A and B are shown apart, each in its own frame.
Chain A
Amino acid sequence: MATIKAAMPGVFYRRPAPEKPAYVDDGDAISAGQTIALIEVMKTFNEVKADESGTVAAFLVEDGDEVDVGQDIVRLEG
């Protein structure tokens, strides 16, 4: 089961701004290098990019949750 992991700890956000739609939703196709979320740490919002292409099966972390380095944040289909 392929997943995308957090490369840094911090607070996880699925959208670029509170009033904006989520970067991607469950079932969406994503390509390598595409921004799929943000992690806030050290007073900056850092883009989380997909390291491989695929289809999002599910987000494993809720918007606003704390994440740790290496934590699975997205499960990909297949």
Chain B
Amino acid sequence: MNRLLVRAGGLYTTVQDTGRFGHYHMGMPPSGAMDIYSAVVANMLVGNADDAAVLEATYVGPKLEFTDDRLLAVTGADAPVTLNDEPVEPWTAVRVRPGDVLAFAMIRAGCRVYVAVSGGIDVPVYLDSRSTYTLTGMGGHEGRKLVDDETLQLAADGQATGSGGAVVPENLRPDLDCPAELRTVVGLCSYRLTEDALASFLGTEWKVTKDADRVGYRLRGGKLDFTEREQPFGAGSDPANVVDLGYPIGSIQVPGGDEPIVLLNDAVTGGGYATIGTVISVDRDRIAQAKTGESVRFRSVDLDTALAARRDRRERIEQVRQQLGR
């Protein structure tokens, strides 16, 4: 009871909630689900609090065996899901029983799937969160990704008695189309780019390289020129260097001028590279579902647009809640 058996860990499956906040100034990034919308909706489907801990699996999903009666929901990337080798629907609450085995086939679109189980994954809370930060080995399940043949604890209060069946309508599921358009607030150090370089940055279709993970996404596809300047005291000698600053989550830096890096949930919190823009928080859900080999584009928006997008997402989440009667 209250256990989830990990038969296969998948490629990179971690325990994540909605993030670890309030410690950024200490150098602790938020971690948490990369695609927040999918994680929150998965929780809603199984009757959990929005910020309960779920599993986030990248590219190759895990194989999980249940030991008690639970509700289960899979959201995020589009991958065929099976329960005891029979297909089950994603974005749907599914009733599971002891001995049931959940498995995934190869993803068709998107990058990360989310698995919520009623009650939530019960790992110890570390600095106010159950999220895993693998770079330092903190939080989540022993600070690391899941491995084959181990056991996760589930919260005792998540035993299901009712049936599943609640489903998120198609129009409230995220868009996984490629190329993803990432709305971006230009700054804080965009003054370091020439005017042409900024236009070129916004006009280029950037390809996601193999170096794209929870820390950041390294992109390729263009070359950006920096303006001439006298190296300021405290800044490095690379034209992309500035005096150290705190990096916004979602900020874009361009070491060397040719490979922009979008910093994400597990990234370093500050340093000495010019950040030329910041992907708005809502569209971090989009980049989270862009996989290596796909393309992304950046579209310049102002702060009001970014805040409106955040309100829109909040409203969408409330729409789902109403639809599901949670």
Interface string of B272-301 (1 = CB under 8 A from A): 000000000000000000011100000000
B59 is contacted by which of A5, A9, A40, A43 (Cβ under 8 Å)?
A9
The CA of A11 and the CA of B211, in the complex, are separated in Å by 10
How many of B's residues come within 8 Å of A, CB to CB? 15
Whether B293 contacts A42 by the Cβ 8 Å rule is no
Kindly report which residue of chain A lies nearest to residue B58, judged by CB atoms: A42
Q: A27: CB under 8 A from chain B?
A: no
Given contact pairs A42-B12, A69-B106, A8 touches B213 in the complex (Cβ within 8 A): no
Whether A11 contacts B210 by the Cβ 8 Å rule is yes
Interface string of A47-78 (1 = CB under 8 A from B): 00000000000000000001111100000000
A46 is contacted by which of B11, B106, B107, B211 (Cβ under 8 Å)?
B11
Interface string of B89-115 (1 = CB under 8 A from A): 000000000000000001110000000
Whether A43 contacts B60 by the Cβ 8 Å rule is no
Q: A29: CB under 8 A from chain B?
A: no
Please list the 4 inter-chain residue pairs (A to B) with the smallest Cβ-Cβ separation, ordered nearest first.
Answer: A42-B213, A9-B292, A8-B59, A9-B293
- List residues of B whose CB falls within 8 A of some A CB: 11-12, 58-60, 106-108, 210-213, 291-293
- List residues of A whose CB falls within 8 A of some B CB: 5, 7-11, 40-43, 46, 66-70
